[in-house]
Structure 1
Amino acid sequence: MRATTQAALDTTGALPLVETSQPGRLVSLDVFRGLTVLAMTLVNNPGDWGHIYPPLEHAEWNGCTPTDLIFPFFLFIVGVSLVYALDGAKRRGDPLGPLVARVARRAALLFALGVLTSLYPHFDFSTVRMLGVLQRTGLVFFGCSVIFLTTGWRAQLAILGALLVGYAVLLQVVPVPGVGPASLEPEANLGAWLDRLVITVPHLWKSSRTWDPEGLLGTLPALGTGLLGALAGQWLRRPGPEPAAKVAWLFVAAGAAILLGLIWDPWFPINKALWTSSYVLYAGGLALATLAALYWLCDVQGYRRFTGPALDYGVNAIAVFFLSAILSRTFGLLQLTGPQGNVLSFNGWLYQWGIAPLFQDPRNASLAGALTLVVIWWGILHLMRRRGVIVKV
């Protein structure tokens, strides 16, 4: 990563995940990205992991909470963003090779940042988790970019359908080697088997070591989430329809996707860890509706009074995600004595001494701890944006 100023930013060369609003871009997209990253910061940093309100936790397995929408919203935004970053080059007929190479470099950097986050601070290569949020983001960014550059929207829609139907067949029909018939259970599904075979057990999610919520096979339907965003981006960039018509059809598409996801749910349950096809449609439909609402408010009506905090987060999205994880683990290395004489990390010590005593309900204290961190990061990001400092990959 490197820092640059807003004036020096190249909007065609900047990674679409992190660039700021520029002429021809959507303010609503930057606001959407910022709100998503703000929510991610909130749910990833509770004061006490043992006391969290249910909407701020992932569903135990099947089902979908508000927290389960954050990552698919981000991948949907990746899809919209890459259209705005690459559509000009595609229309001009720029050589495909350099474009793909540029996309591949950025995808590789995102993947490497994800691995670095897993390595830090002990750098134990024997047990480092090879997959994760940034890694999947890089893979989806690369895959969707190549598909967008080489196909039209009809082919992309067909690829989306093939990914969702093909993934459902793989998980629900294909027997799992060494396990038995097809299964949707955490350790017995085809994706978990593939991860144990290719990634190997020591490099999987440390909370299980038998399966990974960001596994290899689940990247296929995650590409579908990105393609939904790319299709939405192409619709918004399409000349001709009035803004009201664009918004209306986005809401129609959103309703159709949500309905299809709910209809599919009884047969192929909505499940974030498996990134099921019904989950792609359900979460993607909600993302479409959110983008439509923000587009109407921010870009069509010009109502932007509420957008400041979201833009602060949205401009430096990757920076706050990466640095908050690094700082949290750095503070975890500091050991201090807590109120009951117990040994705590620096984060835990601040929480136990400064926040928890102010609340009777431990869930409120935990939420206050998360909100405190959100406000601290907001202050940092606001200063960065005011000075035109943008950290990009």
Structure 2
Amino acid sequence: MLLMMAEVLAFSRVSEALPNSTFWQFLSFHQSHVEWVGCSLHDLIQPSFSFLVGVALPFSLGSRLAKGATFGALLRHTMVRSLILILLGIFLRSMHSEQTYFTFEDTLSQIGLGYTFLFLLGFYSPRVQLIALVLILVGYWAAFALFPLPGAGFNYTLAGVTPDWQYNLQGFAAHWNKNTNFAWDFDRWFLNLFPRESTFTNNGGGYSTLSFIPTLGTMILGLFAGKTLKDNVAPNQKIKKFVITGVLLLIGGLVLHLTGVNPIVKRIWTPAWVLFSGGWCFLFLAFFYGVIDVANYKRWSFFLMVIGMNSIAAYVIADGLGAFIGNSLAIHLGQDYNLLFGLPYATLVKGALVLLIEWWILYWMYKNKIFIKI
């Protein structure tokens, strides 16, 4: 969540102003999404968020069942939660539109679309959950692999790409190219069922509604991790399991990518991406669990905890209030307040102040025990 909120620092603007600085180029790359194939630190935000939904579920179910909640009541609550997440994602994507912008690629919408299925899987054994994960990944892979590649008369203008786009994949991997794949074809039908300002032809970033299916796979990986955390096992054994699982998943994703079976593409959440990003999620979990819970080094993490305790609020504040706060700073501090360290660092000064104010809002909520839950 901090990485997402920190987008206001706009490292890319600083990098553009200082083109000879490899330091700012490095930070800019890792605060941006890769164009298609590969991974940056920023690309790991959404899978980490989705993974943690799965991690939290065993604890949530255990707590509610211990309080006497019935399956029916839990299912109704879950379905309402799913609907709210979907609608909240649509609302955030519609903020700068003339009418409701029906799209489902927002992180919250993607989680909402798969959350009820995750809830149901939470009542089954790890074996059934593993079978579900395999079926999701293999089925999603097959849907793309069997979808026909663009022919000689294909309308690339409709797809919003060109046949010689530098990030296009070749050979079998071309089945996972931007806006010429199975999920794009589905959205050309599905998204046009809703009222729109204009006919949907393509998503500029290549994102798709159906990514919620493999995102469910990422949440299932989190479900495995949550069960391990909840089990009565020595902490060091848990860390060892997380590290081994993380390394194996990373290797699995890389093997699929390097052999050409399936590329690592976050924007359409390929099965290789589920494995690769899931591996990083397990390693991140091993690190934070080991340092904070096992080694008991907690004080340094307070800044992060304030954000994490109100993750939904943090998401909405960052997505919906950032521009308002930035404009307010210019009104009250003057148009040139961000030139304190020179023009190249203007966006950095502005972004740091916006980020600090957003954190203060979350800190006020934390101190007053105001936690937004769905």
Give 1:20's aligned residue: none
Q: Could you say what secondary structure the match of 1:199 adopts?
A: helix
Aligned to 1:69: 44
Match 2:337 to one of 337, 354, 359: 354
**TM-score under structure 2 normalisation?**
0.81
Correspondence for 1:284: 278
Give the letter aligned to residue 79 of structure 2.
Answer: A
Distance 1:293 1:66 in 2: 16
**Distance (Å, rounded) in 1 between the aligned partners of 2:318 and 2:195:** 22
1:228-273 per-residue CA deviation (whole Å, 9 max, x = no partner) reads 001000011112x211111111111111111111111122111110
Q: Is 2:357 the partner of 1:376?
A: yes
Q: Which structure would you say has the larger RCO, counting Cα contacts within 8 Å and 6 or more residues apart?
A: 1
* Residue 388, structure 1, aligned to residue 363, structure 2: no
1:265 matches 2:257: yes
Q: Which amino acid aligns with 2:241?
A: W
Counterpart of 1:185 in structure 2 is: 177
Cα deviation for residue 329 of structure 1 reads 5.4
**What does residue 6 of structure 2 align with?**
42
1:380/1:244 Cα in 2 relative to 1: closer, same or farther (>3 Å)? same
What residue identity is the alignment partner of 2:99?
A: D
Distance 1:375 1:328, change over 3 A: closer
Amino acid of the structure 1 residue aligned with 2:364: L
Task: Name the amino acid aligned to 2:2.
Answer: L
Report deviation, 1:47.
4.5
* Equivalent-residue separation in structure 2 for 1:331 and 1:129 (angstroms): 26
Matching residue of 2:21:
none
Q: Matches of 2:207 and 2:65 in 1, distance apart?
A: 30
2:314 matches 1:320: yes
Question: 1:275 matched to which residue of 2?
Answer: 269
Alignment check: 8 A CA contact 2:253 2:276 kept: yes
Alignment partner of 1:221 is 2:214 = yes
Report the structure, 1 or 2, having the larger helix content: 2
Cα distance in 2, alignment partners of residues 379 and 304 from structure 1: 20
Structure 2 spans left out of the alignment, 5+ residues = 16-27, 156-171
Question: What is the CA distance between 1:330 and its match in structure 2?
Answer: 4.9
Distance in 2 (CA, whole Å) between partners of 1:384 and 1:93 is 30
Q: Distance in 2 between matches of 1:357 and 1:68?
A: 31
Contact kept, 8 Å, 1:47 with 1:368, in 2: the verdict is no
Pairing 1:196–2:177 present: no
Per-residue displacement from partner, 1:265-292 (whole Å, max 9, x unpaired)? 1221111101111111111111111111
Where do 1:56-135 residues align within 5 Å?
56-89=31-64, 95-120=70-95, 124-125=99-100, 127-135=101-109
CA contact (8 A) 1:47 1:351 kept: no
Counterpart-to-counterpart distance in 2, 1:69 and 1:56: 10
Please identify, of 153-162 and 371-380, the stretch whose mean Cα deviation from structure 2 is larger: 371-380
Q: What SS is found at the alignment partner of 2:297?
A: coil
Matches of 1:243 and 1:71 in 2, distance apart?
Answer: 27
| Bigger mean CA deviation after superposition, 96-105 or 367-376 | 367-376
Over aligned residue pairs, what C-alpha RMSD do you find? 3.1
Query: 1:214, 1:103 → 2: CA distance?
Result: 26
CA contact (8 A) 1:47 1:365 kept: no
Which amino acid counterpart does residue 254 of structure 2 have in structure 1? L
Distance 1:382 1:330, change over 3 A: closer
Alpha-carbon contact 1:351-1:369 (below 8 Å) kept: no
TM-score, scaled relative to structure 1 = 0.77
Query: How many residues matched?
Result: 338
In structure 1, stretches of 5+ residues that fail to align are 1-36, 333-344
Deviates more, 1:309-318 or 1:86-95: 86-95
**Cα distance 1:122–1:194, how it changes in 2: closer, same or farther (>3 A)?**
closer
CA contact (8 A) 2:176 2:263 kept: no
Q: 1:246 aligns with which of 238, 247, 252?
A: 238
| Structure 1 match to 2:161 | none
Whether contact under 8 Å (1:261, 1:279) holds in the other structure is yes
| Distance in 1 of aligned mates of 2:66 and 2:206 | 37
For residue 42 of structure 2, what is the amino acid of its counterpart?
A: T
Conservation of the 8 A alpha-carbon contact between 1:38 and 1:374: no
Give the distance between the partners of 1:260 and 1:131, measured in 2 at CA: 26
CA distance in 2, matches of 1:213, 1:278: 17
CA deviations over 1:318-376 (Å, ceiling 9, x no partner): 112113322245569xxxxxxxxxxxx6678879622245235x3x4434433332222
| 1:139 and 2:139 correspond | no
Q: Does 1:233 align with 2:223?
A: no
Give me the whole-angstrom Cα distance separating, in 1, the residues matched to 2:112 and 2:339. 38
**Which residue identity lines up with residue 283 of structure 1 in the other structure?**
S
Residue identity over aligned pairs, in percent, reads 27
The letter for the 2-side match of 1:38 is L
Q: CA deviation at 1:89?
A: 4.8
